[in-house]
Structure 1
Amino acid sequence: MTSGALTAAQQTAVQRRTVLVLSLGQVLGGIAFGATVSLGALLAADISGSDALSGLATASVTLGAALCAIPLARLAARLGRRRALTLGNLFALVGIAVVILAASVRVFPLLLVGILLIGAGNAGNLQSRFAATDLAAPQHRGRDLSIVVWSTTIGGVAGPLLLGPGEVVGHAIGMPPQTGSYVFSFVAQCAALVLYLVALRPDPLLAAQRLATQAAAATGTTAVDRPRVARYAIFAIAGSHVVMASVMAMTPVHLSHMAHGAHGAAATPADVSALVGITIALHVGGMYALSPVFGVLADRWGRLRVVLLGQVLLGGALAFAVFTGTEAWGVMVALILLGLGWSAATVAGAALLTEASAPELRTRRQGRSDSLMSLSAAAGSVLAGIVLSNFQYAGLGIAASVLVLAIVVLSPLARTDAR
């Protein structure tokens, strides 16, 4: 099956197996992502002694993903998705070890290096959603992509909820405070690495490349390329991700201030961890839980309509952040809507980018999209810390709304989108 042409039945079987393996890998990888999102800003604020620098934690995650997105995409184009994904797992494993070391010796730059490496591993997780489309039938591309995105729900929700148990485990084995849940992350990343090495066969991208070459030779035609639509898809994905990442990055710090303001001296680290853990778990659930719904809608309604639905949800999230951001329930609702909006825009935008690009250009553009998405979010996270310090949570919501408006205004660029 790996050396010759795939029949239609074989392609369907390989695609089902691929989606299953990628989904299991995302469950495992999501644990590390969820823990880093929850703990990164708190660790950065604690070690650096400055809330304004806490945004550098999320910035480092996104910067690491940005730096590795294009190299991993190029590696995938040459050697296949399997090797690119396993290399991402190795980056994450090293990053987790460095974060634990940095927390032990309390060296802020070393902490950022470790988080950056975890972000490099997250570049592999991002690539998984595109890997789900390599062999997918066009009419099911959004669905298959969204199933892999949805699978991150389990690990992404479990990661923040493991903060409490992680602290118990970490204390029992002598780990630094607030790093215990990384034990679970390390084990999960090891399991994901083994899974990809053993089970992701045949490689979906290499098989898809062979099929595209055979089809071109048989028909003498090449696939249609729509660069303007692809550019809009890249912008929509990146802009939606910046909105999500910038608000989400500052929410743990904002909630920490709220907890201390409500309880005064009675507020304990456990109180803060519980509030942050529950809120981020709800947010991550919003990011992934309904992604199959958005995938099916993207297949039936069209990619652009679902991208715009995402902007409506993001706009609602920012409205809650502005008007109810001083209440814990208001922040929770805002973070849930923020996750849902990101999910709709990311699933539909990734499907739009894939189908707007000719096969020989897809992997390259996918890498560029992931890199731009992560670089923009890194810059947004740094600026978010400054905005939060000077204009509070409501000011952050107002600033982020500019990007939502831009994505809506520029949507006519993708009006050629078909179902």
Structure 2
Amino acid sequence: MSHSITVARADSHRPEIARSQRRILTVLVFAQILSGAGLAAGVTVGALLAQDMLGSTSLAGLPSALLTAGSALAAIAVGRLSQARGRRPGLAAGYLIGAVGSLGVIAAAVLDAPVLLFLALFVYGAGTATNLQARYAGADLATDSHRGRAVSTVLVATTLGGVVGPNLAAPTGTLARSLGIPYLAGPFLLAALAYGLAAFVLVTWLRPDPLLLARRLGTTDSAATPSTTPPESPDRSGSGVAAGGFVMALTQLVMVAIMTMTPVHMLHHGHGTAAAGVVIAVHVGAMYLPSPVTGWLVDRLGRLPVAASSGVTLLAAGVLAALAPGDSIALLALALALLGLGWNLGLVAGTAIITDTVPLETRAKTQGAVDVSIALAGATGGMGSGLMVAATSYPILALAGGVLALAVVPVAALTGRSKP
């Protein structure tokens, strides 16, 4: 009886839900374009800036570890604020904190203060966490059968900013130098502006709030039909949270580890900042650009097969990065493209699994907690990558990461078998 009432309620509000979802996705797209440029700054020059200030390769992975550790704390805060007040204040606050961190990095570079740099990078990580949390906002009003595509729409919007951002490393560096700021801190000027504008867009136009509206109208899952429901039914047990969280955390660890040390590896082989920026731009594009196709595959083929394919793709990326000659920009770019694609497959599939599993009443809080594991995995990958390359080599790091990523395959298989 209660299920019939819920279905009828969702059906009666379906036109309102559809209109609101279109508006919400449009606003999120604009905000993600801006935030994509902001997060690309740390990816492109964070390790190089630390290496320049410290004069040590072994700590080059520390910036990535710090910003991802900062994103872990921010994921909790953004998740809880979103749970209590809605997505709009949660996401806007996260981006504003990211902008403050960007300004802190610039100040640290000017003052040549490594301790301030590390603290600022930790704060800057809030922008990264918020950029990822936004994908959940796109899924709040989506049905089970369209959830993957809703997530992918938000993710793909990051592509433009994420691709343009790294290629602005040289121009922003030149601008920074003209202002008396160290060259490598230049991209953080862009990050501060981009994160600030993203917060403004959300505060001004993210209305209605998707999470609050979803709670008010009730579940929209009734819109799914037998012909469009994913092959596996949504898992409402704790195993869904565990499986989705594991897939996203492991793919994040592997991706961050290999990505972080690639610019350092390239500079050791005579390439400049511009060349590293091109490779990172290709990588970031591959992280987000395939999202529409990934979302369609997740909705049509199912969450678990796509999750398993992420491990295989990351293995291919690791093997290619390990075997690519250090002077080959093309092969390194291809390896980083596969790395980004593997991450994308794991993120979209894992996000859909988590959102399928968690009820609206605790959704934002649980999603924030899951993203903490993702951030901590990224911090581990970032910090461990520099130490591992210093002790061994970049090819060994890449190969080890690819092999480790294969662990998502048995997890996906076992999760599928455990379903009733």
What residue number does 1:405 align with? Answer: 406
Which runs of no fewer than 5 residues in structure 1 stay unpaired? 217-222, 260-270
Match of 2:229 in 1: none
Counterparts of 2:269 and 2:220 in 1: how far apart (Å)? 60
Matched to 1:99, the amino acid is: V
| Conserved? CA contact 2:105–2:117, under 8 Å | yes
What corresponds to 1:349 in structure 2? 350
The one-character-per-residue Cα deviations of 1:201-244 (angstroms, maximum 9, x if unpaired) are 1110011112238999xxxxxx9722112211100010001010
Are the equivalent residues in 1 in contact too, given 2:318–2:400 (CA < 8 A)? no
Quote the offset at 1:352 in angstroms. Answer: 1.2
Any conservation in 2 of the 1:65–1:123 contact (CA below 8 Å)? yes
**Structure 2 letter corresponding to 1:314:** L
Aligned pair 1:120/2:126, yes or no? yes
Partner Cα separation in structure 2 for residue 181 and residue 213 of structure 1: 42
Matched, 1:227 2:238: yes
Q: Is the 8 A contact 2:82 2:365 kept in 1?
A: no
1:268 is matched with which residue? Answer: none
Residue 303 (1) aligns with residue 303 (2): yes
Superposed CA deviations along residues 119-143 of structure 1, whole A, max 9, x for unmatched, are 1122111110011010112211100
Distance in 1 (CA, whole Å) between partners of 2:392 and 2:206 is 48
- The 3-state SS of whatever aligns with 1:194 is helix
Structure-2 separation of matches of 1:24 and 1:32: 13
The residue that corresponds to 1:237 in the other structure is 248
Identify the residue that residue 318 of structure 1 maps to in structure 2.
Answer: 318
Letter in 2 for 1:231: A
CA distance in 2: counterparts of 1:362 and 1:79, whole angstroms: 13
Aligned to 2:366: 365
The question of 1:174 aligning with 2:175 is answered no
Change (3 A) 1:213 1:351: closer
Partner of 1:14: 20
Quick one: structure 1 residues 277 and 213, their matched pair in 2 at CA, closer, same or farther if it must change by over 3 Å?
Answer: closer
**Is 2:363 aligned against 1:336?**
no
Tell me the SS of whatever aligns to 1:22. Answer: helix
TM-score norm. by structure 2 comes to 0.91
Q: Which amino acid aligns with 1:369?
A: V
In structure 2, what is the Cα distance between the partners aligned to 1:163 and 1:145? 29
Aligned amino acid, residue 277 of structure 1: G
Identify which range, 245-254 or 303-312, moves more after superposition. Answer: 303-312
Name 2:72's counterpart in structure 1. Answer: 66
After TM superposition, list the pairs within 5 Å mapping 1:15-414 onto structure 2.
Answer: 15-212=21-218, 225-259=236-270, 272-326=272-326, 327-414=328-415
How well do the aligned residues superpose, as a CA RMSD in angstroms?
Answer: 2.0
Return 97-106 or 178-187, whichever deviates more: 178-187
Once residues 24 and 293 of structure 2 are traced to their aligned partners in structure 1, the CA distance between those partners, rounded to angstroms, is: 20
Whether contact under 8 Å (2:288, 2:344) holds in the other structure is yes
Distance in 2, Cα, partners of 1:288 & 1:177: 28
Would you say the 8 A contact 2:68–2:125 is kept in 1?
A: yes
**Change in CA separation of 1:403 and 1:204 when aligned onto 2, cut-off 3 Å:** same
For residue 230 of structure 2, what is the aligned residue in structure 1?
none
What is residue 266 of structure 1 aligned with on the other side? Answer: none
Q: Using the alignment, how far apart are the partners of 2:219 and 2:237 within structure 1? A: 20
Distance 1:417 1:16 in 2: 36
Aligned to 2:227: none
**C-alpha separation between the residues in 2 aligned to 1:361 and 1:402?**
35
Cα deviation, residue 375, structure 1: 0.6
Alignment partner of 2:406: what SS? Answer: helix
Where 2:283 maps in the other structure, the secondary structure is helix
Aligned to 1:267: none
Name the CA shift for 1:29/1:214 in 2 (closer, same or farther; >3 Å). Answer: closer
Moved more, 117-126 or 172-181: 172-181
The more displaced of 164-173 and 134-143 is 164-173
- CA deviations on 1:122-178 (whole Å, 9 max, x unpaired) are 211111001101011221110011010000000111110001111222222222221
* Aligned-partner SS, 1:178: helix
Letter matched to residue 230 of structure 1 = V
* Residue aligned with 2:184, SS: coil
Q: 1:88 to 1:325 in 2, by over 3 A?
A: farther
* SS of match in other structure, 1:340: helix
Cα-to-partner distance string for 1:277-309 (whole Å, 9 max, x where unaligned): 011001001101111110011000001111112
Q: How far, CA to CA, are the matches of 2:134 and 2:83 in structure 1?
A: 14
Conserved in 2, the CA contact under 8 Å of 1:64 and 1:117?
Answer: yes
- Which has the higher mean CA deviation after the structures are superposed, 225-234 or 33-42? 225-234
CA deviation string 1:87-128 (max 9, x = no partner): 111111110111001101111121111111111122111110
Identity of aligned residues (%): 39
